[in-house]
Chains A and B, each alone.
Chain A
Amino acid sequence: NAGVTQTPKFQVLKTGQSMTLQCAQDMNHNSMYWYRQDPGMGLRLIYYSASEGTTDKGEVPNGYNVSRLNKREFSLRLESAAPSQTSVYFCASRRGQGGELFFGEGSRLTVL
């Protein structure tokens, strides 16, 4: 019973490097989300996808891009990593608006 799976769990990057965080859900959910969690700031929405083929900006989208590859997968890309992007990133999914939200275990990213 996998739920929401994120890879990698840990990553260290140098400033300017690029990387992609992968997320997959096996619950046949329509909506998928990427959040970042920082001490004192709480959870902030980066991007979301309400359905396959659509993506929308959240509260803090600058420096990130996303791809809803298919109904199961939603990836987050950092094109040129900055130290300010050091954070814990969470992927989440749910059936649709108003539904219960399910989270992955998180990806801990450090940018040096």
Chain B
Amino acid sequence: KQEVTQIPAALSVPEGENLVLNCSFTDSAIYNLQWFRQDPGKGLTSLLLIQSSQREQTSGRLNASLDKSSGRSTLYIAASQPGDSATYLCAVEGGSEKLVFGKGTKLTVNP
């Protein structure tokens, strides 16, 4: 059974810092991996989708990498801003339609 872990559960950084969020999964036979952002009281917003054949994806200040063999993905946020404060979740998709989500990392960027 696929398990997805995100460590740490919470992270607090000063504005302007570059940071890395981690996502690990137990079964490397994945179809793709997706990173989401969730603001308090809101739904999830898709940030980046990495297919299993890809090593990384970039969108603005965000860069996500995927290493299937080691069962890891990282989300790199450059020059963090207070508006980046949110919970970040990763989800992996295996051969079925079902995605398995991590419990998220709550990020606080302090002005």
Chain A residues in the interface with B (C-beta under 8 A): 4, 31, 40-43, 45, 48, 50, 56, 58-59, 90, 92, 97-106
Seed contacts A48-B98, A90-B43, A101-B34; 15 additional CB < 8 Å A-B pairs: A4-B43, A31-B97, A41-B103, A42-B89, A43-B91, A56-B97, A92-B44, A97-B31, A98-B93, A99-B49, A100-B46, A101-B46, A101-B99, A103-B36, A105-B42
Contacts of B51 in A (CB 8 A): 98
Judged by DSSP, the binding face of B is strand
Contacts of B34 in A (CB 8 A): 100-101
Give min CB distance, A14 to chain B, whole Å.
24
With A43-B89, A98-B93 already in contact, the answer to whether A103 and B98 are too (CB < 8 A) is no
Q: When the two chains form their complex, are residues A105 and B43 in contact, meaning their CB atoms are under 8 A apart?
A: yes
Judged by DSSP, the binding face of A is loop
Closest to A104 in B: B43
Contacts of B91 in A (CB 8 A): 43, 101
Contacts of A42 in B (CB 8 A): 89, 101-104
One of B31, B43, B102 near A98 (C-beta < 8 A): B31
State which residues 2-19 of B face A: CB under 8 Å: none
With A98-B32, A100-B34 already in contact, the answer to whether A90 and B46 are too (CB < 8 A) is no
Closest to A48 in B: B97
State which residues 36-65 of B face A: CB under 8 Å: 36, 41-46, 49, 51
Contacts of A99 in B (CB 8 A): 49
Contacts of B102 in A (CB 8 A): 42
Contacts of B49 in A (CB 8 A): 99-100
State which residues 50-95 of B face A: CB under 8 Å: 51, 89, 91, 93
Contacts of B93 in A (CB 8 A): 97-98
